[in-house]
Structure formats: structure tokens, C-alpha cells
Amino acid sequence: MSSSKKKNVTPAQENYQKLASKHEQKRPVAKNCIRAFLVGGFVCLVGQGIHVFYYTFFDFTQRTASDPTVATLIFVSVLLTGFGVYDRFAQFAGAGTAVPVTGFANSVASAAIEHRTEGYVLGVGGNMFKLAGSVIVFGTVAAFVIAIIKTMLVQWGGL
């Protein structure tokens, strides 16, 4: 219940709100956190496994193996999204599946699937980045700002 909604209410409404909040189910924050921690860690463990696999059996070094690792994870999560498995997984884990790169891939793929009926251009093309667009925009802007700060520090600050 946001505090802005508490203004301009009759006493009866206020009473009702109190009653409702008493019966409202509490969000299990601690449980959610632990779930997110464990599942997020599991996703990272899988990623690390793929990473080790790539530099052990292919011609990658530890540094260059990260690119195919990310590509593989994205591919797998897009596939799982298409099959409808990822939704259930994310329902259980919450932020654990949303924060790693798999969550980003899921948000793009699910938006694309959802709007496919509206056509390829205006549907898929127009709605694909509905969720992920903000991540891209703010990521690019933040990178740009930080690059400017770093350039200034290096050029004139002599860092």
C-alpha cells in the first residue's frame, strides 16, 4: 500500500484498509532472497562449467572463452523460454533468474513471442525491446558517462 493512496479517505475506508493490510499475506522476503541466491548461483555455476569446457577442449584462453560462454547461455535460455520452461523456473527463483544474462535473453525472447500475432514488423520488431530496451539505453548511457569521466581523469588528472 503506497502512502499516496492514504490521503483523502473517509474513516470507513481507512478502517477497511487497516483490516485489509492485517489479512494481507506477508511477502517472504528472506525466503525469496535465499532462493534467488541459490538459483542465481546455480546459473553462474553452469556458466562457469561451460567456460571451463570451452577453454579445456577448444582453442580459447580463459579470457576469450567468455564470449562463447555468454552466447551459449543466451541460446539455452531463449530455447527454454520458447518451450515455456523458463517461466516456471523464474516463478520459483525470482531475481535469481532475472539478474544473470539469461534473464535478459528471456525478456527479449518472451516479448518477441508474445507479440508475434501482431506481425513481424510492428509486432515482433516493435515490441521486442519493450522490457530490455531500458537496460540497453541506461547501460549505454552509463558506459558513455563513465568513459567520459575516465577520459577526463586520465587526460587531465594524470591518473
Partner 1 sequence: MKGLIKAILVLCFLSGCQMLGAEQDIRPMQLSQNAVIDQEYADEAKKIILSMEEVVEIKGVSQKTDIYLAPRVKHFDRFRLKEIRKYGYDSVKKRYPDATVHVSTDQKIFMELEKLEQELKNKTISEERMEKKLKKLDEMMKG
Smallest gap from Cβ 33 to partner 1, in A, equals 10
Smallest gap from Cβ 72 to partner 1, in A, equals 18
Stretch of 8-16, 29-37, 131-139, 149-157 lying at the interface with partner 1 (CB under 8 A): 29-37
Helix 101-114 to helix 66-83 angle (10° resolution) is 40
Residue 156 region by backbone torsions, left for phi larger than 0, else alpha for psi between -120 and 50, else beta: alpha
By CB under 8 A, residue 55 contacts partner 1: yes
Binding mask 57-86 for partner 1 (x = CB under 8 A): ---xxxxxx---------------------
What is the spatial distance between Cα 62 and Cα 54, in angstroms, rounded to a whole number?
9
By CB under 8 A, residue 56 contacts partner 1: yes
Distance of CA 42 to the CA centre of its chain: 15
Closest to partner 1 by CB, 48 or 140:
48
Smallest gap from Cβ 22 to partner 1, in A, equals 23
* Closest by CA position to 37, among listed 98, 82, 87, 81: 98
What is the spatial distance between Cα 156 and Cα 140, in angstroms, rounded to a whole number?
24
What is the spatial distance between Cα 88 and Cα 6, in angstroms, rounded to a whole number?
35
By CB under 8 A, residue 49 contacts partner 1: no
Residues that bind partner 1 (CB under 8 A): 30-31, 34, 55-56, 60-65
